[in-house]
Structure 1
Amino acid sequence: MTENSRLAKGDDAPDFTLSDADGNDVSLADYRGRKVIVYFYPAASTPGCTKQACDFRDSLADLNGAGLAVLGISPDKPAKLAKFRDAEALTFPLLSDPERTTLEAWGAYGEKMMYGKTVKGVIRSTFVVDEDGKIEVAQYNVRATGHVAKLRKDISV
């Protein structure tokens, strides 16, 4: 997949195995048989990423009740993710992709507009992966604020 390729509904979700905040390996394959929200964010402990993560945290009971797990992925190292998780009382896995291979495979890293300039970085993106590992929802360039509420509406949760 090229840097600017994007996933769409019906595509196979690219598999990954990444370290969580505690250094344990977590694979997308671990979630086969249930739906999972995979979201990509630029950096732990920044205002927008904190707002988005806390929105997922605050919606987690409803999402889990509807059969959805949540995974957050950023280029941050596990130690930074652990601090973020602990500071914000996050109760879902945060995964580390410092080489950006998973970010690139999902089309969540590349050129984007920031303050009127073209820069290369993490494209805030959210996906719903179905029980069979297929993309059910693919959303790119999402807003940090209000995104989880919109996603919940889109997927009727």
Structure 2
Amino acid sequence: MGLQVGDLAPEFTLPRDGAGTISLADLKGRKVVLYAYPKDDTESCTKEAIAFNGLRAEFAAAGADIVGISPDPIKRHDRFKQKYALTFPLVADEARAVLENYGIWVEKSMYGRKYMGVERTTFLIDQHGRIVRIWPKVKVAGHAEEVLAAVRAM
């Protein structure tokens, strides 16, 4: 059984773009939008990142930080972030331990081939580290706006 609304979000400390690390504990006292995506610089992942980035000021005004997570390495995150002028942190879970803890490193299937990958999912975490909302199997169009509305409603 995966994570549920009301659960404490699993703690993590991961390397971030640029240098250094980010821990969920570092963000305590703020709302956190943790969105997981499969791969930097692919069509849907790029659209999702640009949408969240475009609303970053509104998220900040509502007291929320945005953090993107994928299994891509830091160098790839750095290029992706620079290419699209992204202004929120991207963390690298190359070992996929955090993705597994959140229940979103799953078996997928494409053209009859099975493989392991990230299920595009967004978690809204409150100031105390509890999961307030989960969006599984995200469809990118309109998603960032829907998440912002949920943040504002908290």
Q: TM-score, normalized by length of structure 2? A: 0.93
Distance 1:28 1:76 in 2: 19
Question: Could you tell me which residue of structure 1 aligns to residue 78 of structure 2?
Answer: 82
Question: Would you say the 8 A contact 1:35–1:68 is kept in 2?
Answer: yes
Alignment identity in percent?
Answer: 40
Structure 1 residue 44 corresponds to structure 2 residue 40: yes
Residue 133 of structure 1: CA displacement? 0.5
Q: What's the RMSD between the two structures over aligned residues?
A: 1.5
Question: Could you tell me which residue of structure 1 aligns to residue 121 of structure 2?
Answer: 125
Aligned pairs for 1:33-72 (under 5 A) are 33-72=29-68
CA distance change for structure 1 residues 120 and 65 in 2, over 3 Å: closer, same or farther? same
Q: Where do 4+ consecutive residues of structure 1 move more than 6 Å? A: none
Distance 1:8 1:113 in 2: 24
1:106-156 deviation digits (Å, cap 9, x = unpaired): 111112344565532100000011011000111111112321122223444
Moved more, 111-120 or 128-137: 111-120
Q: TM-score, normalized by length of structure 1? A: 0.91
Please, which of 101, 105, 108 is the counterpart of residue 101 of structure 2?
Answer: 105
Aligned residue pairs total 153
- Note the residue ranges of structure 1 that are not aligned, 5 or more in a row: none
Distance 1:52 1:14 in 2: 23
- Note the residue ranges of structure 2 that are not aligned, 5 or more in a row: none
Structure 1 residue 91 corresponds to structure 2 residue 87: yes
